[in-house]
Amino acid sequence: MTTGHIMMAMSLDGFVARPDHAVDWLNKQATHNEDHGFAEFQGRMDVIVMGSGSFRTVVGFGEWPYSIPCIVMSRTMTDEDVPMELRSRVEVSTLEPNVLFASLQKRGLQRAYVDGGAVIRSFIEAGLIEDMRITIVPILLGDGIRIFGSNDRDIDLELMSSTPFPSGLLDLEYKVKR
Binding track over 55-94 against its own copies, x by CB under 8 A = ----------------------------------------
- Whether 167 and 29 have beta carbons less than 8 Å apart is answered as yes
Q: Closest CB to its own copies among 81 and 131? A: 131
Q: Give the whole-angstrom CA distance, residue 53 versus residue 80.
A: 16
CB 35, min distance to its own copies, A: 17
- The number of angstroms, rounded, from the C-alpha of 154 to the middle of its chain's C-alpha atoms is 20
CB 21, min distance to its own copies, A: 16
Q: Within 13 Å, how many C-alpha atoms sit on residue 121's CB side?
A: 12
Q: Closest CB to its own copies among 36 and 89? A: 36
- The number of angstroms, rounded, from the C-alpha of 73 to the middle of its chain's C-alpha atoms is 13
Give the binding-site size for its own copies (rule: CB under 8 A): 36
- One-letter amino acid of 105: Q
Torsion of the alpha carbons at 41, 150, 57 and 79, rounded to the nearest 10? 90
- The number of angstroms, rounded, from the C-alpha of 139 to the middle of its chain's C-alpha atoms is 20
CB 19, min distance to its own copies, A: 10
Q: Closest CB to its own copies among 69 and 168? A: 168
Binding track over 130-149 against its own copies, x by CB under 8 A = ----x-x-xxxxxx--xxxx
Binding site for its own copies (CB under 8 A): 12-14, 25, 28, 124, 134, 136, 138-143, 146-159, 161-162, 164, 168-170, 172, 174
